[in-house]
Chain A
Amino acid sequence: MVNMRAALAWIFLLLTLRLAAPAGAETMPLTIGISQFPANFNPLINSMLAKNYILGFALRPLTVYDKDWQLACMLCTRLPTLENGGAVRETLPDGKPGLAITYSIHPEARWGDGVPVTAKDALFTWEVGKHPETGVSSGELFRRIVRIEVRDDKTFTLHFDRLTFDYNAINDFQLLPAHLEAAAFAKPAEYRTRSLYETDTTNPGLYVGPYRIAQVVRGQYVVLEPNAAWYGAKPAFPRIVVKAIEASPAIEANLLSGGIDMVAGELGMTVDAALAFEKKHRPEWVVTYKPGLVHDHITVNMDNPALADRRLRQALLYGLDRQTMVQQLFQGHQAVSNSLVNPLDWCYDPKVRSYPYDPAEAARLLDAAGWPAGPDGKRRDAGGRQLSLELMTTAGMRNREVMELVAQQAWKRLGIEVTLRNQPARTFFGDTVLKHAFPDLALFAWVSSPENVPRSMLRSDMVPTAANNWSGENAGGYRNPAMDRLIDAIEVELDRDKRRALWSQLQALYAEDLPELPLTFRSDPFILPVWLKGVEPTGHQYPTTLWVENWRVEGRPR
């Protein structure tokens, strides 16, 4: 045993002796570790975090949420609104209200082969996006556009078939180079395999951002080099290499051995792995935690008669010391959530009801709900049935399992019997959650976006059933007409202040009703070298790489 310890001590002594690699700082590439390799590269076909991250260097969407979660123009020149006249209400031929929105593409925007980005590209992209056979995963935006009018080379007008508050957000409208991609689209059903993004990924003409993809070694890495046709600020690195390394310990080893310079927060390490790394106090790196939009919570099965009683749900939340749990597990880098809206979102209501740890109040609510504690401390109803709940989650995810264990222990103290049953993610999400098939409680996370209306999660017609082919994500079976009305009202309320009031009502109702027990919003840990400046974590699904031209080098060791 002594020898083993000595050997380990020796290993970690060696860790500290590594020397920096020599080379000129200005000509040195930036090597980034991410935990997944993109399956494909076409930006429109589907959305995948690893792909979005890499394409962020090389493509620019027309509009995007910025780091303050406000909608902004990226490839367009000015965000069209009703106020500035860029968006105009109109009536569609069928008499329904519609909207005409005009966008102008940046005048200097050119594809990597020098061909200007034009309104023709927008028209082509729409054709691809709305075609039922191309396999574009998020087709909703394209289907809502009834017509595109080309005004001039750089300007086009989209005619939408409805009026919603997020009318001018066309973030999914990722322009494709018509001059290169038209041939592949000749047979729409084969577009997804014939697209040049898949067959000729390093073709410079496919990219419009500061970088272009210069080399792809599948499963291993992607090399990006500056795009000669880029019109914006000159990016700092002559080369960026993105390496896919899945396992946290391997990512860490690569950082320490110089295999990578930084770890992307969007998909890199888990918070606990980053915390463990940080504990070693490595002065060469800064670890930044950015709260994100992945919301860990426990969905309650509302069809269960016991849990249908709101007092029981409130008691469960009062009886769980979320503050201590989150503080201890994430060392203050994640906060307890009080509602489904992230505190970074403008529509978050800071006055929303929170449930501080209060076991006495929890006990009182349980008594009131008809579950008094017996002499053995266990709670039973009038019929003598013991209060017993089954808590389910995905097997093999450590953080979730720990939260599950903490909840089990806390609720046991209240006199509630809690059994755990975990399943592989495939089974849990594909069967148990999707088909509304968990008996009591299910712990998992939602991925959302800024100001995301919880229509599919909380509206009463979104409960998955065999009849609707299990569509909808209201897995708990929550049905409340007041919630339905609020969701409908928010979607069409264009006035920001009025919408804020509606959002407050929605959050208040959520916190009162507790269709889900909110736990915490997950943070993204960014591990950056001290010499890299200007990386601004966003926290939402649009990655930091979209602003790579702001990344700078200061004092990089040679």
Chain B
Amino acid sequence: MIRPLLLRLAQAALVLLVMSFLVYGLMGLMPGDPIQLMAAGSPTMTAEDVARLKAVYGIDRPLVDRYWHWLAGALGGDLGFSRLSAQPVAEALGPPLRNTVALMTCSLCLALLLALPAGVAAALKAGRPLDYALNLTAFAAISLPVFWLGLVLIMIFAVGLAWLPASGVETVGDGGGGDRLRHLALPVAALALAGFGHYMRYMRSAMINALSQDWIRTARAKGLSWPQVVLGHALRNAMIPVVTILALDLGTLFSGVLVTETVFAYPGMGKLIYDAVMGNDYNLALAALMLATALTLAGSMLADLLYRLLDPRIRHA
């Protein structure tokens, strides 16, 4: 058990290293130098200023040099300063990360809370009106872009009914738990609805698949009650694709949702990564993207672990 785990961790470290180089390289290859672009937007900057600033920020040095410099620092625990916000990377990363964790945890929990029972119910009633109703809801949720859904929610609940704030994370001068929850309500609802469609469809299909397996009949024949069969056996088996999808989502979950964040003026990781990449803020972008990569790898490991728990047969394979 220990050896495969260590091997897996070594693999993950290697992937992280390769990815950090790839991301650094991609950012370096992006056309347009941020200093030059800055100069184009401000009439008082001269060519001399551009050259000087490139030297100040070290952008005039070869990409590979800069990457080694960054890597040496990062391995030593020094993530450097965010070039754009003039803050240490950890400080610049903190609040958006907290916001994203709050948003994504709430919306994922809500989505699963609704989707898993709905998926099971639809599977049990496959081909009946309940199944159709749930499926139609899921399809509608999938077809609607989240920004659209978000705007309609804002129009109804913030503008029309004035029950909830239209955007932001907290009211100026408040920022208590209740206030934050009120601000979370709409973005969470929009994201959860979109997530609902996906998870519900996977759950339903996996459940239908599991219920048609031979051993379900065997279990029934052995005298197990229907709820025991459904909850104890079929559900456990059906969770495999759902767990896979969940694990897949873990990394993307914390790289933020740019469009939703924009619609709700909710500063999270999506906006941070977008700005950092577009502004060639290497230190900040690398830290954020490596975090997302690490979570993706962790999700993948977690999924493999869960398969073993969910499906005893995999153990002997």
**Do A and B touch directly, given a CB cutoff of 8 Å in the complex?**
yes
> Which residues of A come within 8 Å of B, CB atoms?
11-12, 14-15, 17-19, 29, 31, 37, 39-40, 42, 45-47, 132-135, 137-141, 143, 172, 189, 192-193, 195, 198, 215, 217-221, 223, 241, 243-247, 249-250, 253-254, 256-259, 426-427, 429-431, 434, 447-449, 452, 468-473, 541
Instruction: Indicate the member of A11, A223, A427, A472 with the most B CB atoms within 10 Å.
Output: A11
Q: Give the bracket for the number of chain B residues in contact with chain A.
A: 35 or more
Complex Cα distance, B95 from A256, in Å, reads 28
Instruction: Indicate the member of A11, A45, A257, A470 with the most B CB atoms within 10 Å.
Output: A257
Complex Cα distance, B44 from A285, in Å, reads 35
Which A residue sits closest to B82, measured CB to CB?
Answer: A39
| Contact between A471 and B47, CB atoms less than 8 A apart | yes
Within 8 Å CB of B279, what residues of A? 39
The smallest beta-carbon distance between A397 and chain B, in angstroms, is 15
Chain B window 81-109, contacts with chain A (Cβ cutoff 8 Å), 1 for yes, 0 for no: 10011111000100110000000000000
Please name the 10 residue pairs, one residue from A and one from B, whose CB atoms are nearest each other, closest first: A430-B32, A14-B160, A219-B267, A471-B47, A431-B31, A138-B44, A245-B265, A39-B84, A253-B166, A135-B56
Chain B window 62-92, contacts with chain A (Cβ cutoff 8 Å), 1 for yes, 0 for no: 0000000000000000000100111110001
Complex Cα distance, B93 from A219, in Å, reads 11
Contact of A430 among B36, B47, B162 (CB under 8 A): B36
Instruction: Indicate the member of B46, B158, B166 with the most A CB atoms within 10 Å.
Output: B166
Given contacts A430-B33, A448-B43, contact A220 B267 (CB under 8 A): yes
Which A residue sits closest to B277, measured CB to CB?
Answer: A426
Complex Cα distance, B35 from A429, in Å, reads 12
| Contact between B169 and A220, CB atoms less than 8 A apart | yes
Within 8 Å CB of B50, what residues of A? 471
| Contact between B48 and A139, CB atoms less than 8 A apart | yes
Within 8 Å CB of B165, what residues of A? 257, 259
Within 8 Å CB of A254, what residues of B? 166-167, 265
Chain B window 267-297, contacts with chain A (Cβ cutoff 8 Å), 1 for yes, 0 for no: 1000100010011000000000000000000
Given contacts A18-B162, A243-B168, A245-B167, contact A253 B95 (CB under 8 A): no
| Contact between A15 and B159, CB atoms less than 8 A apart | yes
The number of A-B residue pairs with CB atoms under 8 Å apart is 183
> Which residues of B come within 8 Å of A, CB atoms?
30-33, 36-53, 55-57, 81, 84-88, 92, 95-96, 151-152, 154-156, 158-162, 165-170, 172-173, 262-265, 267, 271, 275, 278-279
| Contact between B160 and A17, CB atoms less than 8 A apart | yes
| Contact between A192 and B86, CB atoms less than 8 A apart | yes
The smallest beta-carbon distance between B211 and chain A, in angstroms, is 35
Within 8 Å CB of B263, what residues of A? 247, 249-250
| Contact between A40 and B30, CB atoms less than 8 A apart | no
* 6 A-B contacts (beta carbon < 8 Å): A14-B161, A45-B86, A46-B42, A139-B49, A139-B52, A259-B167
Which A residue sits closest to B33, measured CB to CB?
Answer: A430
The smallest beta-carbon distance between A126 and chain B, in angstroms, is 16
Known: A15-B160, A39-B279, A219-B95. 18 other contacts (CB 8 A): A15-B155, A37-B267, A40-B84, A45-B86, A132-B56, A135-B53, A135-B56, A138-B49, A140-B46, A143-B48, A198-B87, A220-B168, A220-B265, A249-B151, A259-B165, A259-B166, A430-B32, A449-B43
| Contact between A193 and B36, CB atoms less than 8 A apart | no
Complex Cα distance, B52 from A240, in Å, reads 37
The smallest beta-carbon distance between A140 and chain B, in angstroms, is 5
| Contact between B168 and A259, CB atoms less than 8 A apart | yes
| Contact between A253 and B170, CB atoms less than 8 A apart | no
